[in-house]
Amino acid sequence: MSASAPVDPDIAMVFQGGALYPQLTVQENLEFSQRIRGISASERSVNALRMADGLGVAGLMKRLPEQLSGGEAQRVAIGRALMQNPRILLLDEPLAHLDGPLRSQLKQVLRQLHQERRLTTLHVTHDQEEALALGDRVALLHEGRLQQIDRPEVIYHHPMNRWVAGFIGSPSMNFLSGELRRTIHGTTFLGSSGSSWEVHIPDIAVPALPTGNHWIVGLRPEFITVVTGEQPASPENRLEGALERVEFTGTNLWWQVRCGSDQWMIRGLPQAEARIGSRWILRLDWTAAVWFHPDTAVAVA
């Protein structure tokens, strides 16, 4: 792009790889849009220094892009875009090529910039955790179709279909296939994926759906927990699973358990009690269940 190329002042974009002008220093990259708009050298220098200071790159003003780390280059790219004073900021996977610590740092930068400027931002990402952490509203696209758009917490707890439910969340939502039944003891759910298990559903959590039909139930891992000796095993708890694998994520400990032919991820007990092959009684929190139609995969309750 030449120095005389037009710049849309209303829209600015940050690319996945930063896309800084390689022959320009950090300061020159930051000043670029204001220079071609005819802003004086002294004013744009002050503006660039203020922007660099806010992004933590003020000590790099004389460096060329090749002398920057990935995180530094992305900060400069964000600053260059903001120097346009745009009305809309487009972010095309700006954190995709960064390691964990740098991703966390730039998440904080982006969140702070948004809070300070209240700038309309469209952030494209394949990282669902990134979308939930940064978005005021999240739009999910699959095979060219918009699946759901809503606040992050609504999408997480009330997905509109099975694809959304399975895509959002780590570990992914568990899906239980079976029949909703009415018995003399209340409402139960009979597993139908080759497993021979049946559990009672508390009256407060019984969905307004026809009994005698097959449905798919979605339960996130944190809503299937292990019943310890100190906890009463109410009828809806009486479901046994065998521990197959332990997944430690730092803040959480997840267990992969098998119940008949079903395999679920659940929130487990401390590592010391995680013995592969051990069997445990599981509690399913039916109040957090999402019910899907078995044919359309659309959420129905």
| Section 77-103 average pLDDT | 87
Instruction: Name the residue type at position 151.
Output: R
User: CB-hemisphere CA count at 13 Å for 253?
Assistant: 12
Q: Which percentage of the chain shows pLDDT scores above 90?
A: 56
d(CA 83, CA 163): 39
d(CA 34, CA 83): 7
Largest interatomic CA distance in the chain:
83
| Section 200-215 average pLDDT | 94
Can you tell me whether residue 56 is helix, strand or coil?
coil
What is the C-alpha end-to-end distance of the chain, expressed in Å?
53
Can you tell me whether residue 251 is helix, strand or coil?
coil
- Token reading at 238: 């009486």
Which range scores top for mean pLDDT: 37-46, 231-240, 267-276?
37-46
| Section 258-275 average pLDDT | 84
Query: pLDDT digit string (tens) for 48-77?
Result: 999 998 888 999 999 999 999 888 898 899
pLDDT at 246 exceeding the cut of 80: yes
What is the reported pLDDT for 5?
45
User: Residue 235's pLDDT band (boundaries 50, 70, 90)?
Assistant: low
| Section 199-212 average pLDDT | 93
What domains are defined for the chain? 11-136 (3.40.50.300), 174-292 (2.40.50.140)
What is the reported pLDDT for 3?
43
User: Residue 102's pLDDT band (boundaries 50, 70, 90)?
Assistant: confident
Q: 């445990």: which residue's tokens? A: 280
- Token reading at 263: 């395999």
| Section 149-174 average pLDDT | 96
Please choose, from the candidates 50, 55, 58, 47, the residue with its C-alpha nearest in 3D space to the C-alpha of residue 25. Answer: 58
Pairing of strands 138-142, 145-150: antiparallel
Please spell the DSSP secondary structure of 186-240, one letter per residue.
Answer: EEEEEE-SS---EEEE-GGG--SS-TTSEEEEEE-GGGEEEPPTTS---GGG-EE
Q: Please name the residues in contact with 168: beta carbons below 8 A apart, sequence gap of 6 or more.
A: 128, 132, 140, 155, 156, 159
What is the reported pLDDT for 66?
94
CB 177 within 8 A of CB 216: yes
User: Residue 31's pLDDT band (boundaries 50, 70, 90)?
Assistant: very high
The predicted model scores a pTM of 0.85
CB 17 within 8 A of CB 35: no
Bridge partners, 22 (sequence order): none
Q: 């460096």: which residue's tokens? A: 63
